[in-house]
Structure 1
Amino acid sequence: MIKNISIFIAFSCIFLNAISLDTKNCISNYADNKSLRLLKQKIEEKKNLGIRIYGDSHIAADFFPNTLRTLFFKTNALGFVYAIQPKYQQNSNLTYEFKNFEILNSQTSKNINYPLGGVIANALKKNAYIVIDTKLSSKKFNVGFIFKSPSNDYAFMIKDENNKTYKLKSKKNKWSYKEIELDFPFKITALAKDAKLGGYIIYNKNKNNLFLDTLAINGAKSNLWKEWNLKVSKEELKILKQDLIILAYGTNDALYNNFDKKTFKYDLKKFIHILKQINKNAVFIIISPPTIKEPNSHFFAIRKSLYEIAKEEKALIFDMHSFMKDNKGKDYWISQKLSLKDVHLSIKGYEVMAKKMYQDLIKTLNAVH
């Protein structure tokens, strides 16, 4: 049995804001036992365990993911992070300060050559800057920069806490990748107008890495990945492998009138296939969204489609709606300040939901022989 889970479950059975985690398991298991055993071993050993969540606003604010981080391990790496966080989004382990950069977002600005994740920081003028610091205890990391220059000249200068300086240069308008060992905080200065950053990959080189990163954007639908440069994205995916991949889409798909089940399933399954090519032994968890009460939504059609995808792709599926229903439903969650009146949960609601998913995942893994 995975260590400390019995203590966790005993604690979790206490009512949290009148919500009980001790309901039926809300994870349905369609995965193969080999992958589940490998994941269980990784979680027990807490060595080189990588978890990634792709999703929408339920993930982008980082309340749900950060609760999972504290439950899985003591984070010692950051994985992939955006160059700058879009509005209403955050990474709980990082702080950003910037000037004269604009954010290009694949959810709102289409037909741009986006790298993995679909967020670009574009320098509006020369000497635009970004300062990044980490809240983790360690301050020395290998930092990989995804960047692009408007010319064949240098695009950025990097200066870290020890005043070590580096310059980044790429071929004109070609996404490039460069890794540098840096001490946080560090400052990135644009050496040209329209120099672009597509994110960072931050990890411990040649050491143990325990990270849970997120590629989530407010308003994202399940086909958002189609806005990303697939060739570039695949190269980025190869840098850090994941053992557990969580897909949290469906809410925004459910709210659009032009929902087509066949297209929805095809797009999400194709994305899963792309991720499986790079992470062959990874376990996938599909998250079915929390309860949606908006009239004319396609919520139940989406929920049914996600279950079908989980079965067809041999994944786990965690049903947020089922957990809410087992605890008196959305109106009760609203009364307990665990849910907003729209499609979102409250901060506390996301924390409770993450604890439930973690508990049910551990139960599922412990049942595998």
Structure 2
Amino acid sequence: MKTLQNSIFFALILMLFYGCNILPYPKQNQTFSAIFLGDSHIATDDMASGFKNELFDKINSPGFATALLPKYHLNSEISYQNNGFEILNSQNNNNAKKYGFCGVNALAKDSGASIELDAKNFNTLFNFQISFIGDISIIDDTKKSYKISNNTQNFKSESLKLKFPIKIIANKKNTTISNYKITTNTPIYVSSCGINGASSGLYKKWQINKNDLNYDLVVIAYGTNDAFNDNLDEAKFYQNLKELITIIKSANKNAKILLLSPPPTPKPKFTNVKNMIKKLAKDEKTLFYDIEDFINKTGSKTKWIEQGLSQKDIHLTRQGYKKVGENIAKTLKNKILK
């Protein structure tokens, strides 16, 4: 693990961030997990990748993954092959009765529909947790077959010991898969849960269980799409994020929470959104990181575009997101590691 001297359990204090949170880092045989929740800036896992690559020489678990990936989304740890499942996205206002954590369902259009998962960077047995409704069979690389069912109307998680590649088969039409969590017994991983177009209240469509928020660090990155609403109810925006923080704290009192203000957006409400996120971080004593401030300190939006780090619209490039993730990690480290 990079620069972690003598494998000591470090406590990192962020002077750039509000609050008094202390973020633990693992020594040998200890664990670390983080998840980035957000909108299109998180829909690929580039920011999370920059973060984890700066902190760790190697991760040992894929971590969290949605059942399938909507268009323009990316998970660099997991590859998918879909045969007969429909992707239902909580952002698209379709007719799914409910969504699991992260808001992306895979619905079997008929019995026999299948999803094949692979993680080429990992070659070991994993604790494979799947959240689903219905009846499924699973076959892994050892050729063992498992059948599990959940006949309730709520998502339920089942855990198996599996090795990639993994094939998941729906035994009944309308079987619905929400997500996976794939870990070792002492996991180190950083995952993403982002949806294009998501705004601050999208999580209210999701069924969130206590286990869904079992992370050392939860990063919340909403605000860009809210800023596009000229009639934004600022009090509601603030309350949406505050309620999400309350859910996280209730599920996991030990989780550290980091609020990100979004990259610069040419919309009148952007400054209001950024200031409310900053205020909320102070009020709730969470960590805070200002992406616009980092971009300005390392040039400007214009220079980031010239350097291939930002697109001309509201988005950064993949390299730009990785650079932000790396800087978040560097900020954490450099405040304690002299």
Paired with 2:4 and 2:263, the residues of 1 have a C-alpha distance of 25
The 5 A counterparts of 1:186-335 are 186-204=166-184, 207-229=185-207, 233-237=208-212, 241-293=214-266, 296-335=267-306
Tell me the equivalent position of 1:28. Answer: 16
Tell me the equivalent position of 1:75. Answer: 59
Residue 235 of structure 1: how far off its partner (Å): 3.7
Tell me the equivalent position of 2:141. Answer: 161
Paired with 1:27 and 1:264, the residues of 2 have a C-alpha distance of 26
Amino acid of the structure 2 residue aligned with 1:116: F
Size of the aligned set, in residue pairs, is: 329
Q: Are the aligned partners of 1:3 and 1:44 in contact in 2 as well (CA < 8 Å)?
A: no
> What's the CA shift string for 1:237-283, capped at 9, x where partnerless?
26xx2111111111111112221111011110110111011221222
Amino acid of the structure 2 residue aligned with 1:234: N
Residue 138 of structure 1: how far off its partner (Å): 2.9
Residue 110 of structure 1: how far off its partner (Å): 5.1
Instruction: Provide TM-score, normalisation by structure 1.
Output: 0.84
CA RMSD of aligned residues (A): 2.2
Identify if the C-alpha distance between structure 1 residues 194 and 89 changes in structure 2 by more than 3 Å, giving closer, same or farther: same
**Unaligned stretches of 5+ in structure 1?**
7-25, 150-154
Residue 307 of structure 1: how far off its partner (Å): 0.6
Q: Are residue 182 (structure 1) and residue 182 (structure 2) matched?
A: no
Pick from 148, 151, 155: which aligns with 1:171? 151
Q: Are residue 356 (structure 1) and residue 331 (structure 2) matched?
A: no
Residue 86 of structure 1: how far off its partner (Å): 1.1
**Unaligned stretches of 5+ in structure 2?**
6-13
Q: Are the aligned partners of 1:63 and 1:351 in contact in 2 as well (CA < 8 Å)?
A: yes
Q: Are the aligned partners of 1:76 and 1:136 in contact in 2 as well (CA < 8 Å)?
A: no
Pick from 71, 83, 91: which aligns with 1:107? 91
The 5 A counterparts of 1:49-88 are 49-73=32-56, 74-88=58-72
Paired with 1:45 and 1:261, the residues of 2 have a C-alpha distance of 45
Identify if the C-alpha distance between structure 1 residues 277 and 259 changes in structure 2 by more than 3 Å, giving closer, same or farther: same
Amino acid of the structure 1 residue aligned with 2:67: A
Instruction: Provide TM-score, normalisation by structure 2.
Output: 0.91
Residue 28 of structure 1: how far off its partner (Å): 2.7
Tell me the equivalent position of 2:11. Answer: none
Paired with 1:176 and 1:282, the residues of 2 have a C-alpha distance of 23
Residue 27 of structure 1: how far off its partner (Å): 6.4
Residue 311 of structure 1: how far off its partner (Å): 0.2
Q: Are the aligned partners of 1:203 and 1:209 in contact in 2 as well (CA < 8 Å)?
A: yes
Identify if the C-alpha distance between structure 1 residues 27 and 100 changes in structure 2 by more than 3 Å, giving closer, same or farther: farther
Paired with 1:123 and 1:324, the residues of 2 have a C-alpha distance of 43
